[in-house]
Structure 1
Amino acid sequence: MKTVRYLLLTAATITLSACTTTSESSRQQTLSITARSGVKTLVAKNWHIDDDCGQIDYPAMTIAEKPKHGRLEIVHEPVYPKLDGKQSKCATTKVNGVVAYYTPNPGYTGRDRLVIRSPYEDGKIEEGVLNITVVK
Protein backbone atom coordinates (compact mmCIF):
# COMPACT_ATOMS: atom_id res chain seq x y z
CA MET A 1 0.00 0.00 0.00
CA LYS A 2 1.52 3.26 -1.12
CA THR A 3 0.99 6.33 1.02
CA VAL A 4 0.69 9.92 -0.03
CA ARG A 5 1.81 12.86 2.10
CA TYR A 6 1.82 16.44 0.82
CA LEU A 7 2.37 19.96 2.04
CA LEU A 8 0.45 22.26 -0.23
CA LEU A 9 0.99 25.96 0.12
CA THR A 10 -2.14 27.78 -0.86
CA ALA A 11 -2.89 31.31 -1.89
CA ALA A 12 -6.47 32.22 -1.13
CA THR A 13 -6.05 35.51 -2.92
CA ILE A 14 -3.48 36.41 -5.56
CA THR A 15 -0.49 34.17 -6.26
CA LEU A 16 2.42 36.32 -7.33
CA SER A 17 5.20 33.74 -7.76
CA ALA A 18 6.25 30.24 -6.80
CA CYS A 19 9.59 28.46 -6.70
CA THR A 20 10.69 25.00 -5.56
CA THR A 21 14.22 23.83 -4.74
CA THR A 22 15.12 20.24 -3.86
CA SER A 23 18.00 18.32 -2.29
CA GLU A 24 18.26 14.64 -1.32
CA SER A 25 16.89 15.22 2.19
CA SER A 26 14.65 18.24 1.76
CA ARG A 27 12.77 20.50 -0.57
CA GLN A 28 11.72 24.10 -0.25
CA GLN A 29 8.72 25.75 -1.82
CA THR A 30 8.53 29.55 -1.89
CA LEU A 31 5.29 31.36 -2.60
CA SER A 32 4.37 35.03 -2.60
CA ILE A 33 0.77 35.82 -1.72
CA THR A 34 -1.46 38.77 -0.92
CA ALA A 35 -3.60 38.78 2.24
CA ARG A 36 -6.08 41.34 3.57
CA SER A 37 -5.33 43.09 6.84
CA GLY A 38 -7.09 41.38 9.75
CA VAL A 39 -8.55 38.61 7.55
CA LYS A 40 -7.83 34.91 8.23
CA THR A 41 -6.25 33.35 5.12
CA LEU A 42 -5.62 29.67 4.34
CA VAL A 43 -1.90 29.33 3.55
CA ALA A 44 -1.12 25.59 3.70
CA LYS A 45 -2.72 22.19 4.05
CA ASN A 46 -1.29 18.73 4.52
CA TRP A 47 -2.69 15.20 4.54
CA HIS A 48 -1.44 11.61 4.79
CA ILE A 49 -3.63 9.15 2.89
CA ASP A 50 -3.39 5.71 1.31
CA ASP A 51 -4.23 4.70 -2.28
CA ASP A 52 -7.88 4.24 -1.29
CA CYS A 53 -8.14 7.84 -0.01
CA GLY A 54 -8.23 6.71 3.61
CA GLN A 55 -6.49 8.75 6.28
CA ILE A 56 -3.31 7.22 7.70
CA ASP A 57 -2.61 9.87 10.33
CA TYR A 58 -2.37 13.60 10.90
CA PRO A 59 0.92 14.68 9.37
CA ALA A 60 3.22 16.91 11.36
CA MET A 61 3.32 20.60 10.50
CA THR A 62 5.49 22.94 12.53
CA ILE A 63 6.19 26.64 12.51
CA ALA A 64 9.85 27.20 11.64
CA GLU A 65 9.53 31.00 11.49
CA LYS A 66 6.60 32.92 12.98
CA PRO A 67 5.18 35.91 11.14
CA LYS A 68 6.17 39.27 12.65
CA HIS A 69 2.94 41.11 11.82
CA GLY A 70 0.26 38.53 12.39
CA ARG A 71 -0.62 35.11 13.73
CA LEU A 72 -0.15 31.63 12.25
CA GLU A 73 -2.59 28.98 13.45
CA ILE A 74 -2.28 25.25 12.70
CA VAL A 75 -5.44 23.16 13.11
CA HIS A 76 -6.81 19.70 12.28
CA GLU A 77 -9.79 19.81 9.90
CA PRO A 78 -11.20 18.02 6.85
CA VAL A 79 -9.58 18.94 3.51
CA TYR A 80 -9.94 18.00 -0.13
CA PRO A 81 -6.51 16.67 -1.15
CA LYS A 82 -5.17 18.19 -4.35
CA LEU A 83 -3.34 15.39 -6.15
CA ASP A 84 -2.18 14.46 -9.63
CA GLY A 85 -1.98 11.11 -11.36
CA LYS A 86 -3.42 7.96 -9.80
CA GLN A 87 -4.35 9.69 -6.54
CA SER A 88 -6.36 12.40 -8.34
CA LYS A 89 -9.45 10.27 -7.60
CA CYS A 90 -9.06 11.42 -3.97
CA ALA A 91 -9.57 15.09 -4.90
CA THR A 92 -13.33 14.78 -4.31
CA THR A 93 -13.01 12.94 -0.99
CA LYS A 94 -12.67 14.97 2.21
CA VAL A 95 -9.95 13.58 4.45
CA ASN A 96 -8.71 14.66 7.86
CA GLY A 97 -5.72 16.92 7.47
CA VAL A 98 -3.66 19.69 8.98
CA VAL A 99 -4.33 23.27 7.87
CA ALA A 100 -2.40 26.51 8.47
CA TYR A 101 -4.11 29.91 8.58
CA TYR A 102 -2.37 33.28 8.62
CA THR A 103 -4.16 36.32 10.06
CA PRO A 104 -2.40 39.69 9.68
CA ASN A 105 -2.72 42.11 12.58
CA PRO A 106 -5.76 44.40 12.13
CA GLY A 107 -4.73 47.66 10.49
CA TYR A 108 -1.32 46.37 9.40
CA THR A 109 -0.29 46.78 5.77
CA GLY A 110 3.10 45.86 4.37
CA ARG A 111 5.21 42.73 4.10
CA ASP A 112 5.36 39.67 6.32
CA ARG A 113 6.97 36.25 6.07
CA LEU A 114 6.50 32.83 7.64
CA VAL A 115 8.04 29.38 7.26
CA ILE A 116 6.27 26.04 7.80
CA ARG A 117 8.00 22.63 7.94
CA SER A 118 6.48 19.22 7.33
CA PRO A 119 7.90 15.73 6.72
CA TYR A 120 7.36 13.91 3.44
CA GLU A 121 8.43 10.47 2.23
CA ASP A 122 10.92 8.70 4.50
CA GLY A 123 12.65 11.22 6.76
CA LYS A 124 12.65 14.09 4.27
CA ILE A 125 11.52 17.60 5.19
CA GLU A 126 9.58 20.10 3.11
CA GLU A 127 9.86 23.75 4.02
CA GLY A 128 7.20 26.17 2.84
CA VAL A 129 8.30 29.81 2.74
CA LEU A 130 5.52 32.37 2.35
CA ASN A 131 6.32 35.96 1.49
CA ILE A 132 3.13 37.88 2.22
CA THR A 133 2.00 41.30 1.08
CA VAL A 134 -0.72 42.55 3.45
CA VAL A 135 -3.19 45.06 1.96
CA LYS A 136 -6.29 46.88 3.32
Structure 2
Amino acid sequence: MRISAAAISALLLPILASCTTTSGGVATENKNLTAVSAERTRLGQAWHLKADCSQASRPNVRTVFPPAHGKLEIVPEDVLANSKKFSKCEGVKTAGVVVYYTSAAGYVGPDKTTFRESYGDGFVRDVTFDVNVVK
Protein backbone atom coordinates (compact mmCIF):
# COMPACT_ATOMS: atom_id res chain seq x y z
CA MET A 1 0.00 0.00 0.00
CA ARG A 2 1.48 3.35 -1.03
CA ILE A 3 1.05 6.11 1.51
CA SER A 4 1.15 9.72 0.40
CA ALA A 5 3.70 11.75 2.31
CA ALA A 6 1.42 14.75 1.83
CA ALA A 7 -1.01 13.20 4.25
CA ILE A 8 1.63 12.53 6.88
CA SER A 9 3.75 15.63 6.82
CA ALA A 10 2.78 19.00 8.15
CA LEU A 11 3.75 22.62 8.37
CA LEU A 12 2.85 24.14 11.68
CA LEU A 13 2.46 27.64 13.16
CA PRO A 14 -0.30 30.14 12.64
CA ILE A 15 -0.57 30.44 8.88
CA LEU A 16 -2.64 33.25 7.43
CA ALA A 17 -3.13 31.68 3.99
CA SER A 18 -2.16 28.52 2.18
CA CYS A 19 -2.53 27.25 -1.36
CA THR A 20 -1.37 23.89 -2.76
CA THR A 21 -0.98 23.06 -6.45
CA THR A 22 1.05 20.61 -8.54
CA SER A 23 3.35 21.56 -11.41
CA GLY A 24 5.69 19.21 -13.26
CA GLY A 25 5.22 16.47 -10.68
CA VAL A 26 6.19 18.77 -7.81
CA ALA A 27 3.48 19.93 -5.41
CA THR A 28 3.75 23.58 -4.49
CA GLU A 29 2.42 25.25 -1.40
CA ASN A 30 2.37 28.96 -0.57
CA LYS A 31 2.06 30.24 2.98
CA ASN A 32 2.19 33.58 4.77
CA LEU A 33 3.41 34.28 8.28
CA THR A 34 4.67 37.05 10.50
CA ALA A 35 8.07 36.82 12.21
CA VAL A 36 9.77 39.11 14.73
CA SER A 37 12.99 40.71 13.46
CA ALA A 38 16.13 38.71 14.35
CA GLU A 39 14.05 36.10 16.23
CA ARG A 40 14.34 32.43 15.22
CA THR A 41 10.91 31.39 13.94
CA ARG A 42 9.82 27.84 13.20
CA LEU A 43 8.36 27.66 9.69
CA GLY A 44 7.44 24.01 9.74
CA GLN A 45 8.38 20.39 10.16
CA ALA A 46 8.35 17.31 7.98
CA TRP A 47 8.26 13.58 8.77
CA HIS A 48 7.32 10.36 7.02
CA LEU A 49 5.36 7.66 8.84
CA LYS A 50 3.81 4.38 7.72
CA ALA A 51 0.15 3.58 8.43
CA ASP A 52 1.21 1.64 11.54
CA CYS A 53 2.90 4.85 12.85
CA SER A 54 6.43 3.49 12.44
CA GLN A 55 8.96 5.67 10.67
CA ALA A 56 9.20 5.24 6.90
CA SER A 57 12.23 7.56 6.49
CA ARG A 58 13.49 10.99 7.47
CA PRO A 59 12.44 13.43 4.74
CA ASN A 60 15.09 15.30 2.78
CA VAL A 61 14.63 19.08 3.00
CA ARG A 62 16.77 21.66 1.23
CA THR A 63 16.71 25.34 0.38
CA VAL A 64 15.50 26.16 -3.14
CA PHE A 65 15.35 29.96 -2.80
CA PRO A 66 17.08 31.50 0.25
CA PRO A 67 15.56 34.52 1.96
CA ALA A 68 17.01 37.88 0.85
CA HIS A 69 16.92 39.38 4.34
CA GLY A 70 17.73 36.47 6.62
CA LYS A 71 18.61 32.80 6.75
CA LEU A 72 16.99 29.37 6.80
CA GLU A 73 18.14 26.60 9.09
CA ILE A 74 17.16 23.04 8.23
CA VAL A 75 17.66 20.93 11.33
CA PRO A 76 17.18 17.16 11.82
CA GLU A 77 15.12 16.89 15.03
CA ASP A 78 12.66 14.57 16.67
CA VAL A 79 9.15 15.90 16.09
CA LEU A 80 5.63 15.01 17.18
CA ALA A 81 3.51 13.88 14.26
CA ASN A 82 0.06 15.32 13.68
CA SER A 83 -1.57 13.45 10.84
CA LYS A 84 -5.18 13.92 9.76
CA LYS A 85 -5.03 10.76 7.64
CA PHE A 86 -3.61 8.60 10.43
CA SER A 87 -5.19 10.08 13.56
CA LYS A 88 -3.88 7.15 15.60
CA CYS A 89 -0.36 8.52 14.92
CA GLU A 90 -1.19 11.88 16.53
CA GLY A 91 1.60 12.77 18.94
CA VAL A 92 3.95 9.96 17.87
CA LYS A 93 7.55 11.09 18.30
CA THR A 94 9.60 10.44 15.18
CA ALA A 95 12.75 11.56 13.41
CA GLY A 96 11.93 14.57 11.30
CA VAL A 97 13.26 17.82 9.93
CA VAL A 98 12.43 21.31 11.23
CA VAL A 99 12.84 24.51 9.18
CA TYR A 100 13.61 27.78 10.97
CA TYR A 101 13.76 31.35 9.61
CA THR A 102 15.70 34.23 11.19
CA SER A 103 15.74 37.69 9.65
CA ALA A 104 18.80 39.92 9.67
CA ALA A 105 19.08 42.00 12.85
CA GLY A 106 17.08 45.21 12.51
CA TYR A 107 15.38 44.19 9.27
CA VAL A 108 11.65 44.97 9.08
CA GLY A 109 9.60 44.32 5.96
CA PRO A 110 8.75 41.54 3.50
CA ASP A 111 10.93 38.50 2.82
CA LYS A 112 10.38 35.33 0.84
CA THR A 113 11.92 31.86 0.89
CA THR A 114 11.30 28.42 -0.63
CA PHE A 115 12.38 24.98 0.54
CA ARG A 116 11.84 21.54 -0.99
CA GLU A 117 10.67 18.42 0.84
CA SER A 118 11.21 14.97 -0.67
CA TYR A 119 10.24 11.69 0.94
CA GLY A 120 11.90 8.91 -1.05
CA ASP A 121 8.54 7.62 -2.27
CA GLY A 122 8.27 9.98 -5.24
CA PHE A 123 6.42 12.77 -3.43
CA VAL A 124 8.13 16.16 -3.71
CA ARG A 125 6.79 19.49 -2.46
CA ASP A 126 8.14 23.04 -2.72
CA VAL A 127 6.95 25.25 0.13
CA THR A 128 7.19 29.03 -0.32
CA PHE A 129 6.78 31.39 2.62
CA ASP A 130 6.00 35.08 2.26
CA VAL A 131 7.29 36.41 5.55
CA ASN A 132 6.23 39.73 7.07
CA VAL A 133 9.06 40.72 9.42
CA VAL A 134 8.04 43.07 12.25
CA LYS A 135 9.81 44.72 15.21
Distance 1:10 1:92 in 2: 14
Distance 1:121 1:20 in 2: 20
Distance 1:17 1:42 in 2: 16
Give the TM-score, by structure 2 length: 0.87
Cα RMSD of the aligned pairs, angstroms, is 1.9
Task: Note the C-alpha offset of 1:59.
Answer: 0.9
Distance 1:69 1:23 in 2: 27
2:134 paired residue number: 135
2:92 paired residue number: 93
Distance 1:45 1:102 in 2: 12
Distance 1:132 1:100 in 2: 14
Q: Percent identity?
A: 36
Q: Aligned runs of 1:117-132 on 2, under 5 Å?
A: 117-120=116-119, 122-132=121-131
User: Per-residue displacement from partner, 1:66-109 (whole Å, max 9, x unpaired)?
Assistant: 01111100011111112113x11111211110110001112110
Give the TM-score, by structure 1 length: 0.87
**Alignment check: 8 A CA contact 1:5 1:121 kept:** no
Task: Note the C-alpha offset of 1:19.
Answer: 1.1
2:101 paired residue number: 102
